Structure 1
Amino acid sequence: MYVTLYRSAETLARWMALLGGLALLVVVVLTCVSIAGRVLLPLDIGVGPIKGIYDMTEIGVGAAIFAFLPWCQLKRSHAAVDLFKPVFGAALNRLLDVVVDLGMFVAAMLIAWRLYLGMLDKLRYGETTFIMQLPVWWGYAASLVGAVAFALVAIFCVIRSLRGLSGHSDPTEEPGI
Structure 2
Amino acid sequence: MYGFFYRLSLVMAWIGGLVLTGIVILICVSVLGRTLNGMLHGDVAQSVMPALADWLIAAGVGPVNGDFELTEALVAFAIFAFLPLCQITGGHASVDIFTQRMSPGVNRALRVVIDMVFAAVMVLLAVQLYAGLLSKLSSGQTTFLLEFPVWWGYALSLIGAVIAAIVSVWIAATRVAEVATGRDILPADLGADH
Query: Is the pair's TM-score, using the shorter chain for normalization, greater than 0.5?
Result: yes
Deviation at 1:89, TM superposition (A): 0.7
Q: Distance in 2 between matches of 1:24 and 1:113?
A: 24
Q: Which residue pairs with 1:60 in the alignment?
A: 74
Which residue in 2 is equivalent to 1:169? 184
Please list every run of 5 or more consecutive structure 2 residues that lacks an aligned counterpart in the other structure: 41-52, 190-194
Residue correspondence of structure 1 range 97-116 to structure 2 within 5 A:
97-116=111-130
Q: How does 1:1-177 map to 2 (within 5 A)?
A: 5-41=1-37, 42=40, 43-44=53-54, 45=56, 46=59, 47-165=61-179, 166-170=181-185, 172-173=187-188
Q: How far apart are 1:134 and its partner, in Å?
A: 1.5
Residue pair 2:2, 2:186 contacting (<8 A) in 1 also: no
Deviates more, 1:149-158 or 1:115-124: 149-158
**1:16 partner amino acid:** M
Q: Which has the larger radius of gyration?
A: 2
Q: Determine the C-alpha separation between the residues in 1 that align with 2:150 and 2:186.
A: 43
Counterpart CA distance in 1 for 2:126 and 2:184 is 31
Distance 1:171 1:144 in 2: 27
In the TM superposition, what is the alpha-carbon distance from 1:171 to its structure 2 partner?
6.2
Rounded to whole Å, the distance in 2 between the matches of 1:49 and 1:125 is 29
User: Can you give the 5+ residue segments of structure 1 that lack an aligned partner in the other structure?
Assistant: none
TM-score (norm 1): 0.90
Kindly state the Cα deviation for residue 84 of structure 1 after the two structures are TM-superposed: 1.2
User: What is the alpha-carbon distance in structure 1 between the residues aligned to residue 98 and residue 92 of structure 2?
Assistant: 17
Percent identity over the alignment? 42
**1:79 Cα deviation after fit:** 2.7
Tell me the alpha carbon deviations over residues 5-46 of structure 1, each in whole angstroms, 9 at most, x when there is no partner. Answer: 101110111111111101101111111111121122213312
Amino acid at match of 1:10: Y
* Paired residues of 2:88 and 2:171 also in contact (CA < 8 A): yes
Of 77-86 and 16-25, more deviation after overlay is shown by 77-86
Deviates more, 1:27-36 or 1:162-171: 162-171
